[in-house]
Amino acid sequence: MKSFDAIVIGAGQAGPFLAARMVEKGMKVALIERKFLGGTCVNAGCMPTKTLVASARAAHVARNGATYGVTIPGEIAIDMEVVRARAETVTMNARNGLIGWFAGMDGMTVIYGHARFEGPKTVSVNGETLTAPRIFLNVGARPVIPDLPGINDIDYLTSTSIIDLDTLPRHLAVIGGSYIGLEFAQMYRRFGAEVSVIEHGPKLASREDEDVSDAIADVLRSEGIDIHTGASDIAFAKSSDGITVATDSARIDASHVLIATGRKPNTDDLGLDAAGVITDGRGFITVDDKLATNVDGIWALGDCNGHGAFTHTSYNDFEIAAANLLDGDDRKLSSRILAYALYIDPPLGRVGMTEKQARASGHKILISTRPMSRVGRANERGETKGFMKVIADAETKKILGAAILGIEGDEVIHGIIDAMNAGTTYPALQWSVPIHPTVSELIPTLLGDLKPV
């Protein structure tokens, strides 16, 4: 049996950085990864997909160049092999960077293999048994494949496998109208494929307010994406030239199908029962406010604990654990203000409560909205789709949440994120003097238009 001061299972966006911090403190750490260093973000998430989004935007801008007085003779062609290779290069650079970083770290042992608990302090991997007083789980999540008629009879794509696609689909059917599905839908439409989005629920991006969901749908429809919401009885069958996707109200002749119906944690094959670690009904590991499980000496970080399915929330889990365990701090999961983005174009930046949540919370609320068509930067760039919305508490003057769907919305939202984390009241932000011409310069104006509801 090999002994360590700590064992980290999973090399996503929390575990490796925590392992590095512990090594800096003189600890002996084993980092176990069953596949690739970097987790979903580096290998099948943010980095490759946003690289693909950038290629798709380049194609979109080129096609619309004449609007800006830029004429490009001939048809805009897409070389999907180059597109795929570019995304792979970004991934490999990041993954190899992690490999090199860990290789130069005394006290770090990287083990590739499938780890399973043998007890609360022991795990087995590759036929060996390892033990440590502290074990951290950062095992991530994977795509959910729903049990739909005919799904096992077709060759479908997931958010992981579609990244390796080096040919352009004739017609891509996206099953699921949430964040991952919508990003791929717009991306492949801009590459030149016909695209249909099929969503069981009544609207796209169901987490968002109805006005935000409607605006997202308008953006996608304006680019020729076919959207079917409220779809039921979804079924698949092979056809002579592809795949038939049938619903209660539509029949789609697709060449490729992307299943984007959510993700589930990679916790079902870790032997958690042997350690006594509790999970909820969906398989997420139950943790307290400091990310500790019910078993002393075991923590769960990142997607597998169900408290945020984003790279930045996973990294923040590392920050919380490191601060509490290594720096004598007292940081809590409940202090985190959730923020995220949807990377369609224009992007959606989101933080805090939706309007629906704020209304249900019992707060006396103020709301302000402003169309992007009234933003100077948006007009100068010719990108006026979307709108801004902010919600505030009428009594405390604190900002409760915001949505910015529009040009640079994923960046502009950070001014509000910072204000919310600092506890700044909205009247204080109204006195800021932002730079012109930017999208952010409209935040004081947006706050100045807050009205009671």
**What is the pTM for the complete model shown?**
0.96
Q: How many domains does the chain have?
A: 3
Do residue 174 and residue 304 come from a single domain? no
Listed residue (404, 340, 412, 399) closest to 371, CA to CA: 404
How far apart (Å, rounded) are the C-alpha atoms in residues 332 and 288? 9
* Averaged pLDDT of the chain: 97
Do residue 219 and residue 349 come from a single domain? no
Whether residue 436 lies in the annotated active site: yes
Do residue 301 and residue 324 come from a single domain? yes
Domain boundary among 235, 261, 287: 261
Q: How would residue 113 be classed by pLDDT, with cut points 50, 70 and 90?
A: very high
Token representation of residue 236: 């698949």
pLDDT tens for each residue of 235-267: 999 999 999 999 999 999 999 999 999 999 999
The alpha-carbon radius of gyration of the chain (Å, integer) is 24
Strands (E), 122-182: 122-125, 128-131, 134-137, 141-143, 171-175
Do residue 137 and residue 277 come from a single domain? yes
User: Tell me, what CATH number does 296's domain have?
Assistant: 3.50.50.60
Do residue 133 and residue 25 come from a single domain? yes
Do residue 27 and residue 127 come from a single domain? yes
| 415: amino acid identity, one letter | G
pLDDT tens for each residue of 22-63: 999 999 999 999 999 999 999 999 999 999 999 999 999 999
How far apart (Å, rounded) are the C-alpha atoms in residues 186 and 189? 5
- Residue 32 confidence (pLDDT): 98
Do residue 130 and residue 19 come from a single domain? yes
- Residue 378 confidence (pLDDT): 97
368 lies in which domain range? 339-452
Do residue 131 and residue 193 come from a single domain? no
Tell me if 439 sits within 8 A of 408, measured CB to CB. Answer: yes
Do residue 8 and residue 132 come from a single domain? yes
Domain boundary among 198, 233, 261: 261
User: Tell me, what CATH number does 363's domain have?
Assistant: 3.30.390.30
Q: What percent of the chain has pLDDT over 70?
A: 100
Query: Which residues have a Cβ under 8 Å from the Cβ of 345 and sit 6 or more positions away?
Result: 53, 56, 57, 60, 186, 219
Do residue 46 and residue 170 come from a single domain? no
- Residue 94 confidence (pLDDT): 96
| 333: amino acid identity, one letter | L
pLDDT tens for each residue of 50-103: 999 999 999 999 999 999 999 999 999 999 999 999 999 999 999 999 999 999
Domain boundary among 278, 305, 335: 335
Do residue 304 and residue 155 come from a single domain? no
- The residue annotated as part of the active site, out of 60, 228, 312, 436, is 436
Tell me whether the omega of the peptide bond preceding residue 202 falls within 30 degrees of 0, making it cis. no
